[in-house]
Amino acid sequence: MCSSVSFPPTQLLSICEGIWESLCLFPTPRGPANSALSRRICSQMSWAGRHRAGNEFFPSKLGTERPAWKQPPLGQWLRENTVSQEPAEIPPSRGWLVGGVQFAKYGHMLREGVCSRASFNLEDCYRVNSFSQLERESGGGWACSHSTWTHPFRKVREEWNRFSMGDHFEKGQHALLNEGEENEMEIFGYRTQSCRKTLCLAGSIFSFGILPLVFYWKPAWHVWANCIPCSLQEADVVLLRTTDEFQTYSRKKVMWICLSALNSAFRLNPDNPFITDEESIINRAIRKPDLKVRCIKVQKIRYVWDNLEGQFQKIGCLEDWLSSAKIHLKFGSGLTTEEQEIRRLICGPNTIDVEITPIWKLLIKEVLNPFYVFQLFSVCLWFSEDYKEYAFAIIIMSIISITLTVYDLREQSVKLHRLVEAHNNITVSIYGKNAGVQELESRFLVPGDLLILGNKVQMPCDAILLDGSCVVNEGMLTGESIPVTKTPLPKMEGSVPWRTQGEGEYKRHVLFCGTEVIQAKGACSSAVKAVVLQTGFNTAKGDLVRSILYPRPVSFKLYRDAIRFLLCLVGTATIGMIYTLCVYVLSGETPGEVVKKALDVITIAVPPALPAALTTGIMYAQRRLKKRGIFCISPQRINVCGQLNLVCFDKTGTLTRDGLDVWGVMPCDGNGFREVHSFTSGRTLPWGPLCAAMTCCHSLILLDGTIQGDPLDLKMFEATTWEMVVSGDDFHLKGAPGCAMVVKPCGTSSQVPVEGIAVLHQFPFSSVLQRMTVIVQEMGGDQLVFMKGAPERVASFCQPETVPTSFVSELQIYTTQGFRVIGLAYKKLEMDHHISALMREQVESDLIFLGLLILENRLKEETKPVLEELISARIRTVMITGDNLQTAITVARKSGMVSESQKVILIEANETTGSSSASISWKLLEEKKHIAYRNQDNYINIREEISDNSKEGSYHFALNGKSFQVISQHFSSLLPKILMNGTIFARMSPGQKSSLVEEFQKLDYFVGMCGDGANDCGALKMAHVGVSLSEQEASVASPFTSKTPNIECVPHLIKEGRAALVTSFCMFKYMALYSMIQYVGVLLLYWV
C-alpha cells in the first residue's frame, strides 16, 4: 500500500538542496540564485510513496506511485532527482556516463568553499553501467588537472545507498559517526515497539528458533522487525552501517548514565556549568534537570548525545578545537575534584579491557556459523534416513574444525589480554587544583588531568607535554626501540587548533599511551607536567588493540567467487527439489517421505563438508609457517599470499642493514666543497662549526652511563671522539636548565678552544619535516643553532650564497653510489627572547651551510637472491623509503630490483605556485648524469610520452613523496599509468606509504608489504598481506610477523600461500564435481 505524503515547501526545498548538493552537479551558494535553482528542482520532483515496512520516503516522478518497492537502476534514480545545468567555463576534462547520465570531473575548491562543474565531450567519456564500476574507474574520486579541486564519491554513494536500501530517513533520524575517518559509519535511530516485539517473540516460538537465528545473522532485520524509525534524540536502539563497500550492519542499545552520584552542590544548582569549560561536550551532553546522559558504545568507544548539536559525539578525549593557549590556561593547573568526578562518570575508566572470551562463548559463536547450522540440518536429515556412516564422518570433521578454530581464537584472546593487562595497573601522580599532588591508579585518569612525570614510567594514556622535555621509547608505535625527544606544547596566541601545526607536527608534543618515558627533564628543576589528552580505547595503544579486535575487512575475489558458485549450487538444488516434489507427489508417496527426499537433494547439491575441506590447506600451511618463525594472526589471508603479484619493501632495515658507518664528511668552503675528510684512517675531524654540529646536533641521551639513541646519531657522535656528560653546579649558563646535556672533548682531542657545549633546546627530528635543530651554547661563549637533515631540506633554510654551486652534482655523485648523505648547517643566535619561548620558524632561517656527512649503508646478504627469486616468478617488487631518491635508485640497482639493462625515468611534479599551474616532467636518469640540474630544455611533458602500449617492465619510474602527492591531487588520470611502471618511491612519509599501497590495490594488484615496523605500520595494515620484521607491539596489527629479520620470509609466505590456494581450489573442484555427479545420479534414480 502507498499513501501520498506532503511536505511543507521549506522542508521540501531543504531536502532537494541536500540531495543536489551531495551530487554536487552545480554550485550551491546561499542566496537568491540558489533559491531559484532549488525551485527549479522542486518543480520536477515530488515526494510520493511511503514504504510500509520501514516508513521511509522515496522520491519519484510526479503522478507516479510505486505499489511495491523495487530498487531502481542508478541512472534512473539520478535522472529522477536531477536536472540539467549549463557547465561552467572550465577547460574540458574527461567524464563518465552512468546509465545515460553524464558525470563530469568536478569538485570543491577547498580554499574558498565553492563548488564548480567541469565541461566535457561525450566522446571523451568512460561508459560504465554501475556505480561500483564508476567508482572503480575513477579510483573513488577525481581532480581536474588544471586546478586544486578534488571531490570524493562518498557523498553520492551515501545518498544512493540510503535510497536503494530504503533508508531515506527524515532529518534527525540519520547521521554520520566518525565522519571522514577510517571507521566512519552511518547511524539510524529506532524506537522499540511493543506490538512488533510481541509478534517477533511469537514468530520465534512458532519457527522453533529459526527466526532468532536469522536475526543473529542479520542484525538489521532484527531492528527493522522490532522497531520503528524515529529521531536519534528519541531512539532507544540505533542501527549502524559502515560506509565502506561491505555495508556491515550492527545494532546497539542506547544507554543512560545517571549522575545522581554527584555531590550536593551540583544537585542543588543544576543550571550551573558542570565543568569550567562551558563549550565542552560534557556540558552539552548532560540533560537537565534529571542529570542524565544518553550514550552508546561502538567498538569499545563511548559516544554521548550532544543536546546542542543533536548528534552523538565521541567522548574520552579533549576537544580538537582547543588552541594551545587554551590548553595551557584551562588545564595547566589541573582539575578540581568535582570536575574529575563528573568526567570519570561520563568518560568511563581509563582501561583497555580485553576479556579472555570463555570457551563456551567461542564455541556457540562458531557453531552458529551458517555453514555449521547447515551441516547440523544435513546430519539430522541423514540420521532420519538411517544414513549414519557419512553423517558420523561429517560430525567428526566438523568437531575437529570447530575445536581447532576455537583453540586459535582462545590463544589470540589470551595473548591480547596479556599484552594490555599491565596497562590497567599503573600508579601515577597527578596535580589537582584543590588537592595538590596525589597518587592514584591509572584507571581513574580522565581527559584534562595534569600528570606529574618521572623517569622510566609507562604512559597509561595519551598526554600533551606542557612543561619540561621527555625522552621516550616509542617502539610500541613505530617498531623501533630508538629514543625520541618530546618537547612542550608552545603557548601560541590565537584560536588556531593545537593540532594544526603542519602534517603530523603536533605529535612531537604528545606522549602516547604504551610508550616508555626513559628520561624526564624539567626546566629549572621544576616538575615535568603533561595534560591527559585521551583515555582508554581512544589512545594510540587502544587504537592498536581495536585494529586487532575489529580488523578492516578485505574483499578477496576468491571468496566472492566461492559465494557466487555456492549460490549457483543453491539455485540448482532448488530446481532439483521442485523436480523431486513433482516426481514423488505423482508417485503417491507419503508427505513425510516427499519432504525428506526433497530436502535430501539440497544436501547433495550443496556439500556440507565443503567449509571443513577448504580450511584443511590453510591449517597445514599455518603450521609450516610457524616452524619457519612466521606467525599469523589472520589465517584467512594465507590463501591471499598465493595471489600476491606485487610486493612493496621498505629500504632501511629491510633491504639494507640497520647499522650505518660514517664514511666521511665534505666540508663547505666559500662557494665550493673541500676535500672529503675520511674517518676510515682513524683521523679526527679538526675543530670548527662542522665538528661542533656533529657533536651536539642529535637526540642522544645518557642513561645509566650509556649513550643511547638513533644509530645514525650514535655513529656520527662516535666519529668525533667527544664524550657526553650531564651538567651540574659547575655550569652556570644563561637560560640553560640545570640538567642540560653537555658534550666535551675527551683527553685525546687536541687544539679545541672550548671546554664544552651545552644543549639548551631541541626541535626533534620529524620524518615529515626531514630535519632536526638544536640550540646550544659554548661554555662562556655564544649561543648557536645547528641543523641536520636531508641535504635538500637543509639547503633550503640556508643563505643562498653559502650553498656551493656544485651542491646538486656533488650530492648526486654520492647518492648514486648508494651512500646516505646528511646536510649540516648553523648560525649564531642573536635574540633576546628566552629560549623556551622561541618558535621553530624563528630559529630555522638564514643558516650557513657547513657541508655533507656521508654514511655507508650496505645491503643485507639475503636481499639480492630473494628479489631475483620474486622477479623470476613475475612478482613485481617496489621500494618505498623515506631516504634520498638517488640513494634508493642505487640500492634498487645493487639489489637487482632494477636491472642494468633497464632504464630509470625520474618524475618530478611541482605544486601550483602563483600564476603557474601544477606541472609534471620527466627525464631519463642516464641523461641526467650528463646534464645540469638547472637545464630544463630537455624536459618533456609526460602526458605526451607515456603510451598505453608501453611494454611494462622495460623502464622504471622513480619519484619522491612530494611528486607523488602533487600527481595524486592534480594529475589523478596519469597516476595509474605511472604506478604501472613505478618501482622506486623515495622521501615518502608514513601517510604517503599507506596511500601508495591503497592506490596499487585500486589497480587490482594483490599487494604485499614488508617492513621493519619503523613508520611502516599504516602500510602494513593497509596491504592485503603485511609482513613485519619487528617483534615490537606495533607489529601486532600486521597479519604476519617474522622472527627472522630479513626478507627471506616473503618467498616462503608466497609458496605456502600458493600451496594452500591450490589445495583449496582442488578441494573445491572435487567437492563440487562429486556433488554434481551425485545430484544428477540421484535425480535420474528418482525418475526410474
pLDDT of residue 400: 84
pLDDT tens-place string over residues 474-527? 766 665 567 788 888 888 777 788 887 655 578 888 999 988 888 888 776 678
Within a 10 A sphere around the Cβ of 696, how many other Cβ atoms? 28
Grid cell digits, residue 1005: 594488484
Average pLDDT over residues 311-326: 87
Query: What DSSP string describes 397-458?
Result: HHHHHHHHHHHHHHHHHHHHHHHHHGGGS-EEEEEETTTEEEEEEGGG--TT-EEEE-SSEE
**Cα angle value 334/339/344 (rounded, 5°):** 105
Locate all alpha helices (DSSP H) within 799-884, ordered by sequence. Answer: 807-815, 840-843, 863-872
Integer Cα distance of 84 and 61 in angstroms: 16
CATH of domain 426-516+523-540: 2.70.150.10
Distances (CA, A) of 806 to 811, 813, 815: 8, 11, 14
Residue where the block lists cell 600451496? 1059
Rounded Cα distance between 818 and 894, Å, is: 9
* Burial class (CB within 10 angstroms; exposed 0-12, middle 13-18, buried 19+) of 272: exposed
Domain borders along the chain are 9-136, 185-347, 426-516+523-540, 645-656+860-1023, 661-856
User: pLDDT tens digits, residue range 216-228?
Assistant: 999 999 999 999 9
How far is 843 from 729, CA to CA, in rounded Å? Answer: 28
- Out of 137-151, 369-383, 495-509, pick the least confident: 137-151
Per-position b or e across 527-566, b if 16+ CB within 10 A of its CB: bbbbbbbbbbbbbbbbbbbbbbeeeeebebebeeeeeeeb
Q: Does the predicted model carry a pTM greater than 0.85?
A: no
* pLDDT-derived band at 276, boundaries 50, 70, 90: low
- pLDDT at residue 478, as a whole number: 61
pLDDT at residue 979, as a whole number: 92
- Lowest mean pLDDT segment, chosen from 731-745, 877-891, 911-925: 731-745
**Mean pLDDT calculated for residue range 313-327:** 87
d(CA 876, CA 259): 59
Each residue of 530-542: pLDDT tens digit?
A: 999 999 999 988 8
Superfamily of domain 661-856: Calcium-transporting ATPase, cytoplasmic domain N (3.40.1110.10)
Please spell the DSSP secondary structure of 612-664, one letter per residue. Answer: HHHHHHHHHHHHHHHHTTEEES-GGGHHHHTT--EEEE-SBTTTB-S--EEEE
- Can you give the pLDDT at residue 824? 93
Asked if the model's pLDDT at residue 186 lies above 80, the reply is yes
Does residue 792 carry a pLDDT above 60?
Answer: yes
Q: Quick one: what percent of the chain has pLDDT higher than 70? A: 74
Q: Which amino acid is at 311?
A: Q
Residue 240, pLDDT score? 93
Phi, psi of 1007 (to 5 degrees): -100, 130
- Joined together, the cell numbers standing for residue 726 give 650531564
User: Which residue in 917, 916, 907 sits closest to 945, CA to CA?
Assistant: 907
Over residues 941-963, the pLDDT tens digits come to 444 444 443 444 578 999 988 89
Across the range 173-199, mean pLDDT stands at: 87
Q: Mean of the per-residue pLDDT values for the chain? A: 75
The pLDDT of residue 708 = 80
Which of the four pLDDT bands, split at 50, 70 and 90, describes residue 705? confident
Task: Give 764-805 as a DSSP string.
Answer: EEETTTTEEEEEEEETTS-EEEEEEE-HHHHHHTB-GGGS-T
Residue 134: predicted pLDDT = 41
Angle at 1030 between CA 1029 and CA 1031, to 5 degrees: 130
Answer for the pair 449, 430: CB distance below 8 angstroms, yes or no. yes
140 or 775, higher pLDDT:
775
Let me know if domain 645-656+860-1023 sits in CATH 3.20.20.70: no
Separation CA 77–CA 63 (nearest Å): 16
pLDDT at 211 (0 to 100): 92
For the question of residue 650 being annotated catalytic, the response is yes
Which candidate, 1030, 1027, 999, places its Cα nearest to that of 1013? Answer: 1030
Within 8 A by CB and 6+ apart from 329, the residues are none
**Of the listed 449, 462, 650, 713, which one is catalytic?**
650
More confident residue, 526 or 274: 526
Q: Are 426-516+523-540 and 645-656+860-1023 in the same CATH fold?
A: no
Least confident stretch, 12-26, 459-473, 720-734:
12-26
> Is residue 830 pLDDT above 90, yes or no?
no
What residue has cell string 627472522? 1044
Q: CA angle 445-446-452, nearest 5°?
A: 55
Q: How wide is the angle at C-alpha 620 spanned by C-alphas 639 and 1013, nearest 5°?
A: 60
Phi, psi of 834 (to 5 degrees): -65, 145
